[in-house]
Amino acid sequence: MFLKYIAGDIRFIRRSRGYIAISVFLKKKVNQILACGGELKSTVCLTKGNNAFMSRHIGDIKNKATYEFFQLTIEHMKRILDINPEIVAYDLHPDYLSTRYALEQQDVEKVPVQHHHAHVVSCMAENMLDGPIIGLSFDGTGYGTDGSIWGGEILIAETGRFKRAAHLSYVGMPGGEAAIKEPWRMAVSYLYDAFGEEFWKLDLPLFKGIDEKGIDEKKVRFIVKMISKKINSPSTSSLGRFFDGIAAIIGIRNTVFFEGQAAIELEMLAGEKTEAVYEYEWVSKDMHRVLLQPVVCGVVNDIKRGVGISTISSKFHATLIRIFSELCEVIRKESGLNQVALSGGVFQNSILLTGLMRTLKEKNFQVFTHTIVPANDGGISLGQAVIAADVSKGCQNVYQIHGRIQGS
């Protein structure tokens, strides 16, 4: 079990042992459902009546041993809870072992669920909300309906459907998962996006660290070629990756030893709260798209002026709080919605969660957060189960993916 005190409440990072015996009470009775969760920080969820039973922390399902434990956990819970699922919910990502497990099940209804929709609905479920609601879903990685890697999303969500209202603009994620372990790759991507080839002329801590770590100029140029030619460089709107990239740009960390390390250190190094923010902009067409170039340019200009890391980190956090609170106001005017749910692993960041909660409440929003289940991927199985329950009652839950419709 792992807890953290944030914004006046004790919040779960991992929910395990004694707490798994306690069900999450749902607003209404649902069918018997198995929700298979995602890949990282995995949990599963089984429902019966108006109770949702979440498993203990299983881990990252990336190897045979963890996958077998995932299967054993499902069978154990089905047996002790006397649940025989009629519906199986799973993540859209085609390569997750949890998804493959779900698709192999026989004689059950199978419901695909978008990752960030599941995040928002997990928060709605523990707060007994039906929606529609404005949902801020911020994390590192989640498969989007357009085949890109999402993670900086504002949704208008109900338990059975969602609309993407706003997101961070896309940049390349060179090397895919390698960019998670080596944040310098994301730093290069954001710099190339903001400055083009001119980024080579910048005198940044990032480049001083690259030689010391054995990452030579030839490798950086190869990464730029990957991004420009879109070779093994999927597009991402992830806020988690943006934190990583900024941390590398200002010289905090080029490589990590555990997930989120660079972003955690960026938070820890932040100085006192500030009202100063970087310039920011979004464009609006079918939805609102936050442009990242102004923020990246602002950070680079501060580095050039000799501004300290703690001040840059504080300004960066303040900028994100300003952007997303103002976007919520815009979406409220468009939709008439006044309730906001905050979910996703990035909300384990104390500065961001506390600041957004305070700012949104000052703007007269009703704000809902996680206190019963983790905000990270350990909570998405609950959201998957609740979404699948609505699908089974005939609600629309069909996603447009790569030009084709995928539904239950």
pLDDT band, very low/low/confident/very high, at 395 (cuts 50, 70, 90): very low
**Helices 239-249 and 293-304: crossing angle, nearest 10°?**
20
Cis-peptide, bond into residue 174, ω within 30° of zero:
no
Query: What is the per-residue pLDDT for 234?
Result: 96
Could you tell me which residues come within 8 angstroms of residue 236 by beta carbon, excluding any fewer than 6 positions away? 141, 148, 149, 150, 151, 170, 171, 172, 173
Q: Which two tokens stand for residue 83?
A: 């649940």
* Percent of the chain topping pLDDT 90: 81
393 has a pLDDT exceeding 50: yes
Report the C-alpha gap between 385 and 391 in whole angstroms.
10
143 has a pLDDT exceeding 80: yes
Report the C-alpha gap between 300 and 201 in whole angstroms.
12
The chain-wide mean pLDDT, for the chain, equals 91
Query: What is the per-residue pLDDT for 392?
Result: 61
Query: What is the per-residue pLDDT for 3?
Result: 73
Q: Which two tokens stand for residue 199?
A: 């980024």
pLDDT band, very low/low/confident/very high, at 211 (cuts 50, 70, 90): low
Give pLDDT tens digits for 14-37: 777 666 667 899 999 999 999 999
Query: What is the per-residue pLDDT for 389?
Result: 93
| Residues of each domain in the chain carrying CATH 3.30.420.40 | 132-373
pLDDT band, very low/low/confident/very high, at 407 (cuts 50, 70, 90): very low
361 has a pLDDT exceeding 70: yes
91 has a pLDDT exceeding 70: yes
Q: Distance between alpha carbon 358 and the CA centroid of its chain, in Å?
A: 21
385 has a pLDDT exceeding 50: yes
Fold of 1-113+376-408: Nucleotidyltransferase; domain 5 (3.30.420)
* Percent of the chain topping pLDDT 70: 93
In sequence order, which ranges of 259-292 are alpha helices (DSSP H)?
A: 261-268
Neighbours of 17 (CB within 10 A): 10
More confident residue, 210 or 75: 75
| Residues of each domain in the chain carrying CATH 3.30.420.360 | 1-113+376-408
Q: Where is average pLDDT lowest: 169-173, 205-209, 311-315?
A: 205-209
Query: What is the per-residue pLDDT for 23?
Result: 85
Query: What is the per-residue pLDDT for 37?
Result: 97
CATH dotted code for 132-373: 3.30.420.40
Q: What is the model's pTM?
A: 0.94
How many contiguous H segments (helices) and E segments (strands) does the chain have?
13, 18
Q: Span 302-329, mean pLDDT?
A: 97
Q: Span 383-398, mean pLDDT?
A: 74
Report the C-alpha gap between 279 and 57 in whole angstroms.
40
Could you tell me which residues come within 8 angstroms of residue 160 by beta carbon, excluding any fewer than 6 positions away? 387, 390, 391, 395, 396, 397
DSSP code for 57: P
